[in-house]
Structure 1
Amino acid sequence: MEGDFIERLQRINVTEEEGEVCQVRATWRKEILEECSLSLLGRFLTTQPYNQRVVKSLLIAVWRLGSDLRIVDIGEGLFQFKFALESQLKWVINNGPWSFEDHPLVLRRWERGMTAALVIFQTIPMWIEIWGLPFDLLTEETSRDMGRGLGEVVEIDTTIFTSDQARFIRIRIELPLDKPIHRGDCS
């Protein structure tokens, strides 16, 4: 569906009058770019309606950012989360995944030139646990190999390898949204 829209957008011809350029003053442009550079774009993976006012209040409370966070409804279920500090933005990314009423929130960092119509979410970061491994497979290398079988490995929880309890391994991976999650063996 998004591909059809992009194709139609690329076929649009601009008349000479429509092609006139409007100038944006450099001082404004710099401020706008700076503000956007501290933002994430997000969407809940659901087709069911939800109360956006409640979602905004909940995220502000859970993320504990108060007035340091501005949530802008861009339309079509897309939000822009504007942060005051880079550390706040990174905290939200690193401590996810986030959800509301069992609907995951997919996030991606703003990029220059990005428009609401062209924002595509391809992955969601997820911590996975692998239980019941043989003792000889409780290693960082095995964790990385198993994680790669599911998606792109972001981080491995190494505390298991120095802890006095070794029941499972934890791996943070970027799960592709277009592939089903498989239970059982990783091959």
Structure 2
Amino acid sequence: MNAEEVANLCEALSLKENEGLLMSLHSGLKDGGSRRLSLRLAGKLLSVKHVNREAFLSVLPRIWRTVKEFEIEILEGNIFSFTFKEESDRRSVLRGGPWSFDKALLVLEEPTGKGDIREMKFDKVAFWIQIHKVPLLCMTSEIGRFLGSMIGEVKEIDDGGSGDCVGKYIRVRVVVDVTKPLRRMLRVDVLGDGKETNMLLRYERLPDHCYRCGRIGHVVRDCSIVPSSVEPEDYNLMFGSWLRA
């Protein structure tokens, strides 16, 4: 830090002191804000461009179909605040996701603490994921939960309440880190004999994603990753529409 930076810092400190003493809010004053915060969600549409806000504000109530009307506030860019009148409406919106608009994924956050938008990462979304090519030995709820944990935090297993996963695949609801490339498969040594079994993943209600880097929020033409000289021209070989259930 040079002399000029030190001087600027000292000036900022002196100005802050001129604004008065640091005051604390009494707990009683925060009760109303806390109640309202418990009925709120913050959401960010993952897109490299600003979405049509007017269309979003018009369409969303018809998509969510809440029992009572809710308030939508534009905070900044593609970030919005949603305030519900009933906790049951808030829960149904969270449970009914993932949601998207104009091919952009809507990432929802439950505000905590003081609800500072700048501290929200908007990086986690729960997807229903189908795990295909699962050996019959592994078609149980317990193993399904283990397989789901290889992807992220498991929220729910679709076993029909029987404890067994019946059908062509295992269906599990998992919290996915949307800042990372999508997982395409699970590599599992089922019998402990060193032989690898590849189980393919399919995401339900998956919005547009990049076929080059595998991340949600942009497509190939907007990808910041420079392609290598050996990269295949057909990006579907790596990621693609086949990841959608």
What's the TM-score once normalised by structure 2's chain length? 0.64
The percent identity for this pair of structures is 28
Structure 2 matches for 1:1-187, cutoff 5 A?
Answer: 13=13, 15-21=16-22, 29-65=30-66, 68-159=69-160, 161=162, 166-187=167-188
2:51–2:78 contact (8 Å) kept in structure 1: no
State the shift of 1:66 in Å.
7.2
State the shift of 1:168 in Å.
1.4
State the shift of 1:163 in Å.
8.4
- CA distance in 2 between partners of 1:37 and 1:67 (Å): 16
RMSD of the TM alignment (CA)?
2.5
- CA distance in 2 between partners of 1:62 and 1:170 (Å): 24
CA change 1:137–1:77 in 2 (3 A) is same
State the shift of 1:39 in Å.
0.4
1:150–1:186 contact (8 Å) kept in structure 2: no
Higher relative contact order (CA 8 A, sep 6+): 1
- CA distance in 2 between partners of 1:67 and 1:77 (Å): 24
1:105-164 deviation per Cα after TM superposition (whole angstroms, max 9, x unaligned) = 000101121222222123111110012212111111111111111111111111285789
What's the TM-score once normalised by structure 1's chain length? 0.82
State the shift of 1:183 in Å.
1.4
1:70–1:81 contact (8 Å) kept in structure 2: yes
| Structure with larger Rg | 2
State the shift of 1:21 in Å.
4.7
Matched position secondary structure for 2:121: coil
- CA distance in 2 between partners of 1:66 and 1:53 (Å): 22
Larger deviation, residues 17-26 vs 88-97: 17-26
CA change 1:117–1:162 in 2 (3 A) is closer
- CA distance in 1 between partners of 2:174 and 2:76 (Å): 29
State the shift of 1:83 in Å.
0.5
Structure with greater proportional helix content: 1
